[in-house]
Amino acid sequence: MTAKKLSNPVTNEEVAVVRNLLKRYGAKSQTISGQINARRRKLKQHEINQARISDIKTGHKLYAGINPASDEEVQAFFNVAGNDSPITAQEPSPVSENSLRTLLPLQVGVDDVLAISETDRIECKKSFANNFFNNCVKAIAAFANNQGGYIIFGVKNAEWTIEGINKTAFEGFDRAKLTNALRDCMSGEIRFDMGTLDFSGKTVGALYVYPAAVQPVILTNRKHDISSGDIYYRYNGANRKIGPTELQQIIENRVVALRLMAFIAVAVAVAAIFGRASCGQYGFDGLQWPV
């Protein structure tokens, strides 16, 4: 790894390290920039902006052609500044290599067929194109309204054979384009992440949709074979309009959340007026206050 300077403050060496960490841990941009900057501070170098990590993650052309560093190179990179470990323990990313390898095992004895089926967490698409969103609106909304889930590109549905996709196109896809498209046709903020996994020369892409913070997510545009006001939910192997049982559960969950927020707001007000010690007589003695 040659520490050649680019036209921005990130070196080729740092880009290679960042790509290793993204692949191994799926770490957040803020986490990685914190690790890089901790090393830079010890070496009395200027810190980098978190946006630089995001640019590397989204495949900015400035960083084209720089491969991930090896695990040994990463450890040596951080050892220079006396760091014991590059990344502290954290919740694994749903699109890290380890997570995807666990999610998408191969059938025994073959190297191009997955031992999976479509569930309430996985949907497969044979190919990937820049306009893939048109065929995924229902799935994205459905996963967001349930417990989240994966759209896997490059796998033939029902047969689970690995067809593969263009890795460069998938990793270089403009995520802002998808974010804007989601905002244009459904309510709420949809969080997602993207990752790839290689199988004997073929690449599959994974789009992970997180469960929405505010459910239900409601479709707001009449396009892509959907109608304004539709609510989709992910059932086992299918995206369908939500049924009364699931909708009732979502409504009950929101009511509970609102009651909890109101309870906490009142508790904070009582503590501010009468002091924390008095909260017990008002029924707030079970709260854990920050130190």
Q: Per residue of the chain (291 residues), give pLDDT as tens.
A: 544 444 447 899 999 998 888 777 666 666 787 788 888 888 888 888 777 887 887 778 888 888 888 888 888 888 876 655 555 445 578 988 889 999 999 999 999 999 999 899 999 999 998 778 888 999 999 999 999 999 999 999 889 999 999 999 998 888 888 888 899 999 988 999 999 999 989 999 999 999 999 999 999 987 667 889 999 999 998 999 999 999 999 999 989 888 888 877 777 776 677 666 655 555 555 555 554
What kind and span of H or E run contains 232?
strand 232-235
| Spans of all domains in the chain | 12-79, 97-242, 247-282
Instruction: Give 275-287 as a DSSP string.
Output: -GGGGGGGT-TT-
Distance CA(22)–CA(196), nearest Å, equals: 11
State the pTM of this model.
Answer: 0.67
pLDDT at 4: 44
pLDDT at 90: 53
Q: Record the tokens describing residue 126, joined without a space.
A: 């044979």
pLDDT at 81: 62
pLDDT at 115: 95
pLDDT at 283: 56
Q: What is the largest distance, in Å, between two alpha-carbon atoms of the chain?
A: 69
pLDDT at 85: 54
Residue 199: which of 152, 242, 240 has the closest Cα?
Answer: 152
| Domain 97-242, CATH number (from 3.40.640.10, 3.40.605.10, 3.30.950.30, 1.10.40.30) | 3.30.950.30
Distance CA(111)–CA(258), nearest Å, equals: 49
Distance CA(266)–CA(260), nearest Å, equals: 10
pLDDT at 86: 58
pLDDT at 74: 86
pLDDT at 165: 96
pLDDT at 266: 75
Residue 132: which of 102, 152, 104 has the closest Cα?
Answer: 152
Please state the separation of Cα 69 from the chain's center in Å. Answer: 22
